[in-house]
């Protein structure tokens, strides 16, 4: 089906908006009146610009407070409408949105509304225009889609149909089933928006918190199925009022918008992009650093050994059990030094995974392939993190590690260090895999990141949680495979401008965090100190065996418990933007220690103040 | 009365919070449990720090999910409480807040609740602690203050009283009158918070949107009067959960908090600070600029003439009618050049105005006084703008202009220019006064700014409006005198980080904006171009006389109308951060053309793109 987006959903001047919509692959746009008024281009030029960009002008919007008013007022409204139809003629737009009236002058009189809308239809016909009448959720007398349809039906005018808007329908809790009773040819337009499930004034909710389908809590796909059952063949059009999108760059927002419609079309069976290929594990995490020493010292103390070096690039593989970390001493990507720049995802079908990512508009990265390199498909996540799809290592397929040459015994820090073979079972005190990766998202792209990881990678999103940092509130949300083999915790600051200040981290799974923490400390590692007051509180909340809490306090181990089990974890110091966490997770525990995050964040601020970095 | 603030209301580490509270003059604090847990200081040291800072620890908070639970659960709760009472003993805190339970285990059984709270009281007594039981607005079974009080009354325990929280009471729409029936000695604590009137989930409203008394929509003072009528003699304590305050610097937030309590105490008759002295006009606006030429060229084209120069400083007075603008070529205060740095307010009692400002914690600026200078009292507004209180010019008092020496005829640009005497009635085509000043506020200080202008200057606040900029949503709110002699429009971006990007402006009143705009253009001034599409829309919305709209379009004049009259206005280009507006306001019109602001903002972005600055 044709896709369309309302210009109000994107930031910038009208031409910036149009360009972004076109580049993201939209077929058309709704032109929001204020965007037209504020544009220095006359309607004819906007029309030509849209044509050049391959965009149809699907809708002009909105006309307000038209119907069910006293005669003199309606005469003024018709005069106003004539002006707007004239503008539409110049624009080449043939459908106009009329919102149900919120005017105090409007009367609760469906017959009057139908009669006046019919007169409006007569005028519209003169200009070759169709009128799509929509119930605003806060309309004065008409606030539900079935009510708006009854009025359109009563008017029985060929130039008058209805416009359905998923937000207005679902925010009111209306049952969308009744949509199936509307003849498809009388549904002149379909506007789609999702929203988080907030209990708040519906007008404020609509004006500030709408989001793209799949980013909120509404069953937008279910509604679309009802609409499709009528034979509706107009566009799927996004109309999103959102304070964040108003500030974000139009280009990425438009891509995100288009991706949401691609996923929606797949969900309702309108299209069949390549199926998601759910990753089966984390093959590696790659750190880029201008100076490898601080981070490799940390890795060595954590029990990692350098097992291999890339044949053609300054990249070392550090390994322990199934936890693999690449240290890339290429040019640092970020000014604040060491950063988590790439993730290797084990994939049963790397090419399929890459095809799906490309179909869902993930930027495909140039392949890292030299004559000797294994083929690696990679895309960029919304925060710029590179995602590599890595084949499992079988004798038939060259794995990504084929690019790495063995380096056993070459490095001084390995002398005396235990060096497990790849895939070897870890010792009890060791790290056996990456438990999760925690990535800070740019402020404008939190919901986008969640949708990306869900739709492109086939991960599942957990609940979003608020976490209090001493200097602001963070939001955090994990995306995971059902079996937990891949877990990525996405977080974002409550406000923009501090993206760089928030660290990323790699959480390493161990079966005995006490032993692992001790080994780290004995190897010269410094653990994040946790205040004694925290342990007093733990003692009040949980029962511990003799000496257990003292051990935790000594090592800075934090403790949490949910219905499924316990979670014990501790932290290293931060290098650049990156730190490590040692994690002992009982199998049933689902979380990430969010309960402890305020204490951890405060402790990191304290450590930074004490060391000045 | 004693004033207190909950540590959760301020950003930073616990010691940062305590220091900020002490500096702002608070007598005590509520210590929020998470702030204690996250602090590296043991309770004894926190106690000593508070003592050093002159702060009493008025409350430890909160204990949750204590009462009306099965016996085994209650035993665990008592064990937990014992730990907390022990911490309180070390802290030297003698009152603990217990919130009504939200636990799914809690039963709807007031007798059980009273019995268990009574047992908690027994335990508390052993530690010399008092328990203040509070109804959370979203408590599972107890959500109103009168219900909580009935349970406390039924328990009849000397160590058990109630805590009242204005947010929990007023957000539920409870009538606070019933407070007067509670014996004052059983009100163990009073927490105060205001909030904007939002229709939303009360928990989210409470956790993210609370603000200081006087900044929101609740009648906090009315509630306090009821509490005082009981003989309550505990502290007035602020407990504010607010996403913005969490990010803002603790120091200014604490001052703002204390100011809100000073104003509240004045309102309820607990204190009598110097009375507000409402300004009677704008004596001058002062621009600071690194290079006077661009801005004086603008002023000259607008019809201003340089009438005087400061005797001791590089400050020129430019005047037209009663509009006076000082151009100060001292060092620019801001990196982005020309800025509106100071406002002279005509005051019937400058010393009284300064005394009130000082009593309400406005930073008093060093007086600009040399042997020849007139005395000028000045304070800083929250955005850093200097506010001067200027005596009216009478023969007895030296006015601020006594510092300025006449310069008539000295400057080339004045040759041939009309030069009105100070106070002379303006010609029809001229500017006769400053209509309003528009100031961009730092993101964290919008509500603070409103409260400041209301309480310190005695101005009245109008409704807050949202204005769509192409790159984000702005909020704008005007503070005025009842007669409009002083009007200041405060605005703020929807997000931080862009404070410097938003311009300030000076709106100049004229009786004939067409003539004034023409004169400006004829004198070489450049008016902001407004798109033709805007005038098409005006034609649809209003009736204009023959040629009127064409004239407006030619000059870039915008038009608005409310029930009281019409508003016509146009804009100059921007110099540094500052631009000018010419305004023809019909006396009954109350607004500032907010309806037109999106078009104006888009046109300014267009102009910037075209000229590159």
Phi, psi of B597 (to 5 degrees): -60, -40
DSSP B400: G
Contacts of A597 in chain B (CB under 8 A): none
Query: A492 pLDDT band (50/70/90 cuts)?
Result: confident
Between A441 and A179, the higher pLDDT residue: A179
**Residue whose token pair is 């009067």:** B225
Q: At a CB cut-off of 8 Å and minimum separation 6, what does B309 contact? A: B315, B316, B317, B404, B405, B407
**A:275-314 residues touching chain B, CB 8 A cutoff:** none
**What is the distance, to the nearest Å, from the Cα of residue A51 to the centroid of all Cα atoms in its chain?**
31
Mean pLDDT of all residues in A533-546: 95
Q: Is the pLDDT confidence value at A412 over 60? A: no
Query: B416 pLDDT band (50/70/90 cuts)?
Result: very low
DSSP A331: -
Residue A410: the pLDDT is 52
What is the percent of chain A with per-residue pLDDT over 70, rounded to a whole number?
Answer: 91
Q: Which of A33-47, A461-475, B193-207 is the most confident on average? A: A33-47
Contacts of A204 in chain B (CB under 8 A): 198-200
B49: contact with A, CB 8 A cutoff = no
A516: tokens are 């692992």
With left for phi above 0 and alpha for psi between -120 and 50, is residue B238 left, alpha or beta? beta
The three-class DSSP label of residue A99 is: strand
Q: Which helix (H) or strand (E) holds A549?
A: helix A548-555
Residue B404: the pLDDT is 87
Q: What is the pLDDT of residues B340-366, one digit of tens each?
A: 999 999 999 999 999 999 999 999 887
Q: What is the pLDDT of residues B176-191, one digit of tens each?
A: 999 999 999 999 999 9
A532: contact with B, CB 8 A cutoff = yes
- C-alpha torsion angle, residues A87, A93, A95, A98 (rounded to 10): -40
B551/A93 Cα distance (integer angstroms) = 29
- C-alpha torsion angle, residues A23, A27, A31, A36 (rounded to 10): 50
Nearest CA in chain A to B41: A531
Residue B500: the pLDDT is 45
DSSP B499: G
**A:550-569 residues touching chain B, CB 8 A cutoff:** none
Residue B374: the pLDDT is 64
Contacts of B494 in chain A (CB under 8 A): 243, 246-247
Residue A420: the pLDDT is 45
Whether residues A533 and B497 touch (CB distance < 8 A) is answered with no
Q: What is the pLDDT of residues A549-575, one digit of tens each?
A: 999 999 999 999 999 999 999 999 998
Query: A466 pLDDT band (50/70/90 cuts)?
Result: confident
Q: What is the CA radius of gyration of chain A?
A: 29
Residue A397: the pLDDT is 59
Strand B281-288 relative to strand B339-346: parallel, antiparallel, unpaired? antiparallel
With left for phi above 0 and alpha for psi between -120 and 50, is residue A402 left, alpha or beta? alpha
- C-alpha torsion angle, residues A119, A113, A206, B597 (rounded to 10): 50
Note whether A95 and A189 are within 8 A (CB). yes
Q: Is the pLDDT confidence value at B383 over 90? A: no
Q: Is the pLDDT confidence value at B595 over 90? A: yes
Contacts of B536 in chain A (CB under 8 A): 83, 87
Q: Is the pLDDT confidence value at A454 over 70? A: yes
Mean pLDDT of all residues in A170-177: 94
A83: contact with B, CB 8 A cutoff = yes
Whether residues B13 and A606 touch (CB distance < 8 A) is answered with yes
Query: A524 pLDDT band (50/70/90 cuts)?
Result: very high
Closest partner residue to A199 (CB to CB) among B38, B200, B599 is B200
Whether residues B38 and A599 touch (CB distance < 8 A) is answered with yes
Q: Which residues pair with A288 in a beta bridge?
A: A328, A339
Q: What is the pLDDT of residues B451-464, one digit of tens each?
A: 999 999 999 999 88
Between B418 and A77, the higher pLDDT residue: A77
Query: B234 pLDDT band (50/70/90 cuts)?
Result: very high
DSSP B330: S
Q: What is the pLDDT of residues A336-384, one digit of tens each?
A: 688 899 999 999 999 999 999 999 999 988 766 555 566 778 999 988 8
Residue A202: the pLDDT is 82
Q: What is the pLDDT of residues B3-56, one digit of tens each?
A: 999 999 999 999 999 999 999 999 999 999 999 999 999 999 999 999 999 999
Q: Is the pLDDT confidence value at B200 over 80? A: no
Beta strands in A118-276 (DSSP E): 130-134, 160-165, 187-192, 236-238
Residue A336: the pLDDT is 62
B209/B241 Cα distance (integer angstroms) = 7
- End-to-end Cα distance, chain B: 53
Q: At a CB cut-off of 8 Å and minimum separation 6, what does A525 contact? A: A298, A301, A302, A572
Helix ranges, B309-431 (H): 350-359
Residue B394: the pLDDT is 66
ipTM of this predicted structure: 0.86
Q: Is the pLDDT confidence value at B335 over 90? A: no
B21/B245 Cα distance (integer angstroms) = 14
**Residue whose token pair is 């909030």:** B195
Residue B397: the pLDDT is 59
Distances (CA, A) of A247 to A242, A486, B427: 9, 32, 44
Q: What is the pLDDT of residues A219-231, one digit of tens each?
A: 999 999 999 999 9
Between B373 and B499, the higher pLDDT residue: B373
Averaged pLDDT of chain B? 90
Query: A392 pLDDT band (50/70/90 cuts)?
Result: confident
Q: Which of A332-336, A440-444, B601-605 is the most confident on average? A: B601-605
Q: Which helix (H) or strand (E) holds A225?
A: helix A220-229
Residue B577: the pLDDT is 87
Q: At a CB cut-off of 8 Å and minimum separation 6, what does B184 contact? A: B230, B231, B232, B233
Q: Is the pLDDT confidence value at A176 over 70? A: yes
Residue B470: the pLDDT is 86
Q: Is the pLDDT confidence value at A423 over 60? A: no
Q: Is the pLDDT confidence value at B507 over 50? A: yes
B58/A287 Cα distance (integer angstroms) = 48
B149/B179 Cα distance (integer angstroms) = 9
Q: How many interchain CB pairs under 8 A, A with B?
A: 161
B43: contact with A, CB 8 A cutoff = yes
B113: tokens are 């609740």
Shortest distance between the Cα of A483 and any Cα of chain B, in A, equals: 29
Sign of CA dihedral B265, B269, B270, B275: positive
Contacts of B531 in chain A (CB under 8 A): 37-41
Residue B448: the pLDDT is 87
Sign of CA dihedral A68, A71, A72, A77: positive
DSSP A420: P
- C-alpha torsion angle, residues B223, B229, B233, B236 (rounded to 10): 20
**What is the distance, to the nearest Å, from the Cα of residue B127 to the centroid of all Cα atoms in its chain?**
42
Contacts of B41 in chain A (CB under 8 A): 531
Phi, psi of B253 (to 5 degrees): -65, -40
B493/B350 Cα distance (integer angstroms) = 33
Mean pLDDT of all residues in A110-118: 98
pTM value? Answer: 0.89
Closest partner residue to A247 (CB to CB) among B36, B79, B495 is B495
Contacts of B497 in chain A (CB under 8 A): 495-497
Query: B447 pLDDT band (50/70/90 cuts)?
Result: confident
A21/A19 Cα distance (integer angstroms) = 5
Residue B424: the pLDDT is 45
Phi, psi of A577 (to 5 degrees): -100, 0
Distances (CA, A) of B570 to B428, B581, B592: 17, 6, 12
């Amino acid at each position: 089906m044709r896709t369309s987006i309302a210009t109000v959903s994107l930031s910038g001047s009208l031409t910036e908006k149009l360009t972004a919509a076109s580049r993201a692959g939209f077929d058309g746009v709704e032109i929001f009146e204020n965007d037209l008024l504020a544009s220095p281009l006359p309607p004819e030029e906007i029309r030509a610009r849209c044509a050049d960009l391959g965009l149809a002008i699907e809708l002009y919007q909105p006309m307000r407070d038209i119907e069910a008013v006293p005669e003199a007022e309606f005469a003024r409204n018709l005069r106003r409408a004539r002006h707007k139809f004239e503008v539409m003629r110049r624009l080449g737009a043939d459908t106009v949105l009329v919102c149900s009236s919120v005017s105090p002058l409007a009367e609760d009189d469906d017959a009057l509304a139908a009669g006046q809308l019919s007169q409006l239809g007569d005028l519209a016909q003169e200009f070759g225009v169709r009128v799509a009448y929509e119930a605003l959720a806060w309309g004065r007398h008409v606030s539900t889609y079935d009510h708006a349809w009854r009025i359109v039906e009563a008017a029985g005018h060929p130039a008058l149909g209805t416009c359905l808007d998923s937000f207005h329908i679902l925010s009111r809790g209306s049952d969308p089933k009744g949509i199936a009773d509307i003849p498809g040819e009388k549904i002149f337009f379909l506007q789609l928006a999702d929203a988080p499930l907030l209990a708040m004034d519906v007008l404020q909710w609509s004006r500030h918190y709408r989001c793209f389908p799949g980013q909120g809590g509404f069953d937008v796909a279910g509604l679309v199925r009802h609409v499709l059952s009528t034979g509706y063949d107009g566009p799927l059009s996004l109309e999103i009022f959102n304070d964040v999108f108003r500030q974000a760059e139009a280009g990425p927002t438009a891509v995100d918008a288009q991706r949401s419609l691609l996923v929606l079309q797949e969900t309702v069976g309108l299209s069949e992009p390549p199926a998601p290929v759910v990753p089966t594990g984390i093959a590696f995490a790659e750190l880029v650093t201008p100076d490898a020493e601080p981070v490799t010292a940390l890795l060595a103390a954590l029990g990692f050994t350098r097992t291999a070096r890339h044949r053609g690039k300054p990249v070392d593989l550090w390994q322990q059990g199934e936890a693999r970390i690449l240290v890339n001493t290429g040019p640092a990507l970020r000014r604040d030094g060491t950063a988590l720049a790439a993730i290797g995802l084990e994939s049963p079908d790397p090419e399929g995974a890459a095809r799906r990512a490309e179909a869902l508009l993930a930027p495909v990265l140039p392949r890292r392939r030299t004559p000797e390199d294994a083929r690696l498909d990679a895309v960029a996540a919304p925060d710029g993190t590179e995602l590599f799809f890595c084949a499992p290592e079988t004798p038939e397929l060259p794995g990504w590690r084929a690019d790495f040459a063995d380096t056993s015994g070459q490095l001084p820090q390995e002398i005396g260090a235990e060096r497990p073979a790849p895939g070897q079972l870890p010792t009890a005190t060791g790290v056996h895999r990456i438990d999760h990766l925690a990535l800070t998202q740019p402020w404008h792209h939190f919901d986008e990141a969640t949708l990306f990881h869900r739709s492109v990678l086939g991960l599942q999103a957990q609940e979003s949680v608020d976490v209090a940092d001493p200097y602001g509130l963070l939001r955090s949300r994990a995306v995971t495979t059902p079996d937990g083999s891949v877990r990525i915790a996405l977080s974002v600051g409550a406000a923009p401008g501090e993206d760089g200040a928030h660290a990323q981290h790699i959480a390493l799974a161990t079966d005995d965090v006490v032993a692992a923490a001790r080994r780290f400390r004995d190897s010269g590692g410094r653990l994040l100190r946790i205040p004694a007051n925290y342990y007093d509180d733990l003692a009040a909340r949980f029962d511990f065996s003799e000496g257990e809490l003292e051990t935790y306090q000594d090592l800075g181990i934090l403790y949490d418990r949910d219905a499924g089990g316990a979670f014990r974890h501790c932290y290293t110091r931060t290098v650049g933007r990156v730190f490590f966490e040692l994690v002992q997770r009982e199998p049933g525990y689902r979380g990430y220690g969010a309960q402890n995050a305020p204490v951890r964040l405060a402790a990191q601020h304290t450590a930074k103040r004490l060391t000045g970095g």
